[in-house]
Amino acid sequence: MAVELSYCVVNTEQRELLLRCLDAIAAERARLELETEVLVLDNASGDGSAAAARQHPATTELIALERRRGKGENDSALLQRARGRYCLLLNEDSELRPGATGALHAALQADRSAAAAGARLLRPDGTAQPSAWRFPTPLTATVGALFLHRRYTVQSRGESIRAVDWAQSAALLVRREAAEQIGWFDPAFFVYSDEVDFCKRLGGGGWRTLFVPAAVAVHHEQLSTGRVPERRIVELSRNRDRYMRKHHTASAAWAVRMLTAWTYAARATAAIALPGHDPRRYWRHVTATLRPDRGEGLREAASEHNRGSRL
């Protein structure tokens, strides 16, 4: 029987979260009448993740990298390796709730013009996490500067399936033929904005992206984003700017930098008086946003890891 759906999981140094992800996949597969496979790409982890994935009964195939690579490149590798008509991209820190796979699959089956379907994401405490948005533009940056983004930019709302600009790849079902048509993910986006660019190019190819609220996944965010590390801030800023320069004019990219920096500056000021907020973190977003060409991000961290692994 032909494979209908491939689960595609990328993991980097998160063994325990990966096992939870695979346990949830195993439970989902038991509910489905579809032929499925599970591909796990371990991104040169040193915590025993590869061995744990190999031993897990849900795993069909393990791809264990010796050198660390970016998310866009790794997702592309899984999409190209997969045999399914549909590929469910998952971070290792995403834990599917019962019925999520079936809801995403049904949504794409019902809408032949849709190439991607994103799940509703929840934080571990059960609160909703925004998971679909309008594309970044000077207008959306202006909305953010006015702190109206949750009302006008976030699109992961309501209880009905709806078309959105882009959805987060933490739990994103992709029609494989559409991904191949547009040339997969752009490896220039090491991490962050990779799925924004992907959905933008899907739209340019005549495809739609859907938000499917009946499909739910808990997004653990690697249990470590309460204080965002310096290199994540740098990588986030540089790839936001890369997206703007790729799809918009230089002046539009400049406008987004200025408006986004102002927004973070306002948050930094407010954080001085608000308990539990770190103004230094917000101010680092300001400086990284204004000069996205400076600083070391996750790409450089991966390069350091790869150099160390050769010693």
**Average pLDDT by stretches of 10, the chain with 311 residues:** 96 96 98 96 96 97 96 97 98 97 98 98 95 98 95 96 97 98 97 97 98 97 56 96 98 98 95 86 95 93 86 50
Model pLDDT, residue 103: 98
**Helices marked H in the chain — which ranges?**
15-31, 49-55, 71-81, 100-110, 138-145, 149-152, 176-182, 194-204, 230-247, 250-271, 279-290, 298-310
Model pLDDT, residue 310: 60
How many residues make up the chain in this entry? 311
Q: Are 151 and 97 in contact (CB under 8 A)?
A: no
Query: Are β-strands 5-11 and 36-42 bridged in parallel, bridged antiparallel, or unpaired?
Result: parallel
Locate the domains of the chain by residue range: 5-223, 230-310
Q: Are 82 and 6 in contact (CB under 8 A)?
A: yes
* End-to-end CA separation in angstroms for the chain: 46
* 5-223, CATH topology level: Spore Coat Polysaccharide Biosynthesis Protein SpsA; Chain A (3.90.550)
The residue written with tokens 């494989």 in the block is 176
Model pLDDT, residue 258: 98
Model pLDDT, residue 270: 93
Model pLDDT, residue 105: 98
Model pLDDT, residue 239: 97
- pTM of the predicted model, to two decimals? 0.94
Model pLDDT, residue 222: 56
Q: Are 132 and 224 in contact (CB under 8 A)?
A: no
